[in-house]
Amino acid sequence: SQQGEEDPQALSIQEGENATMNCSYKTSINNLQWYRQNSGRGLVHLILIRSNEREKHSGRLRVTLDTSKKSSSLLITASRAADTASYFCATDAVGGANSKLTFGKGITLSVRP
Amino acid sequence: NAGVTQTPKFRVLKTGQSMTLLCAQDMNHEYMYWYRQDPGMGLRLIHYSVGEGTTAKGEVPDGYNVSRLKKQNFLLGLESAAPSQTSVYFCASSYNAHKVSRWNTEAFFGQGTRLTVV
C-alpha cells in the first residue's frame, strides 16, 4: 500500500489566497518531499524536509513535519494561477541501506484567476 | 543538461506483445526508479535500483522486469503486454554519492511514456 496519503484530494481557491495541503504517512522516514506535476508532464521536486527538522521555507512554500503524528503540511502563500497543478508528497522510508521513494495519490490544486 | 530521458514518449501495443522502455540519466545517480501513474492511483513504484547491477521489487512488480547493466541506464520490460498495463510510466533517479548526503535525496523525473495496450 502507498506510504503517503494527501488531503484533501482536490482544492480550489482564488488567486492570492493561501493553499494548505496535508500528507500523512505510516512508517518512520528519513525525509519527506513534496513534488508538483503540471498536466502531462513529469514531477518536479519542490522541497525536502528531513526527519529531524520541523519546518522549512522556500520562497512562497512552507512545509512542516510532525513525526509524532506522522504528518506533514505544505503551505503555498499568495497563490497564483500558475500554481495550478497536482501536488504529491513522497516519503523516503527508513529501512536499511536501500532507498525506496514512495508517493501518495496527489492533490489537485486549482487556482482561479 | 539532459537530466532524465525516457524513450519512447508514446507507444501502442497489442495484447501479448513485448517492449522495453529505456531510461537514461546523466547525473551520476545511484538510485533509479520506475513508476506507473494511473488516474486516482497516484504514482506506484514498479521496480527500483540502488546501484549498477542491482534491482528490487516495488509495490506493483508483476508483469514487469528490469535491468541495470550500466549505472546511467534503467530498462523496464514488458514480456507479454496486457490491457491492465495501459498507463503513463515515469522513470526517476536520485542520489549522487559524491555531491549530496544520502539523507537529501531529491528525485529527478523523466517526462513520461504513455503506453496503451489494446
Report pLDDT digits (tens) over B65-101: 999 999 999 999 999 999 999 999 999 998 866 566 6
Residues of chain B found within 8 Å of residue A89, distances taken between Cβ atoms: none
Residue A97 has pLDDT above 80, yes or no: no
Residue A2 has pLDDT above 70, yes or no: no
Name the pLDDT band for B11 (thresholds 50, 70, 90).
Answer: very high
Residue A109 has pLDDT above 90, yes or no: yes
B115 touches B11 (CB < 8 A): yes
What per-residue confidence (pLDDT) applies to A21? 96
A10-14/A107-112 β-pairing: parallel
Residue A71 C-alpha, separation from nearest chain B C-alpha, in angstroms: 18
What percent of chain A stands above pLDDT 90? 69
What separation in angstroms does the CA of B64 have from each of A40, A66, B18, B61, B67? 23, 36, 10, 6, 11
Q: What is the pLDDT of residues A8-27, one digit of tens each?
A: 899 999 999 999 999 999 88
Residues of chain A found within 8 Å of residue B107, distances taken between Cβ atoms: 33, 35, 43, 45, 90, 101
Residues of chain A found within 8 Å of residue B47, distances taken between Cβ atoms: none
The CB density around residue A101, as the number of other CB atoms within 10 Å, is 25
The residue-averaged pLDDT of A97-104 equals: 73
CB half-sphere exposure, B53, CA atoms < 13 A: 0
Contact A42 B112 (CB under 8 A): yes
Residues in chain B whose Cβ is within 8 Å of chain A: 4, 31, 33, 35, 40-45, 48, 50, 56, 58-59, 90, 92, 94-95, 102-112
Name the pLDDT band for A1 (thresholds 50, 70, 90).
Answer: very low
Residues of chain A found within 8 Å of residue B106, distances taken between Cβ atoms: 33, 45, 48
Q: What is the pLDDT of residues B19-28, one digit of tens each?
A: 999 999 999 9
Distance of alpha carbon A17 from alpha carbon A49, whole angstroms = 24
- What is the rounded average pLDDT for all residues in chain A? 90
What per-residue confidence (pLDDT) applies to A75? 98
Cis peptide before B8 (omega within 30 of 0): yes
CB pairs A-B closer than 8 Å: 75
Name the strands in the sheet holding B64-67, side by side, starting at the edge strand that comes first in the sequence. Answer: B4-7, B19-25, B73-78, B64-67
Name the pLDDT band for B41 (thresholds 50, 70, 90).
Answer: confident
Contact B105 A101 (CB under 8 A): yes
What per-residue confidence (pLDDT) applies to B40? 81
DSSP 8-state symbol, B30: S
Residues 6+ apart with CB under 8 A from A95: A27
What per-residue confidence (pLDDT) applies to B72? 97
Mutation choice for A interface testing from B7, B23, B43, B55 by most A CBs within 10 A: B43
Of B40, B58, B111, the CB nearest to A41: B111
What per-residue confidence (pLDDT) applies to A47? 95
Residue A65 has pLDDT above 80, yes or no: yes
What separation in angstroms does the CA of B33 have from each of A45, A102, B30, B97? 15, 10, 10, 17
What per-residue confidence (pLDDT) applies to B39? 87
Residues of chain B found within 8 Å of residue A42, distances taken between Cβ atoms: 4, 90, 109-112
**Between residues B64 and B95, the one the model is more confident about:** B64
Closest CA to B29 of B50, B57, B54, B7: B50
Q: How many helices (H) and strands (E) does chain A have?
A: 0, 11
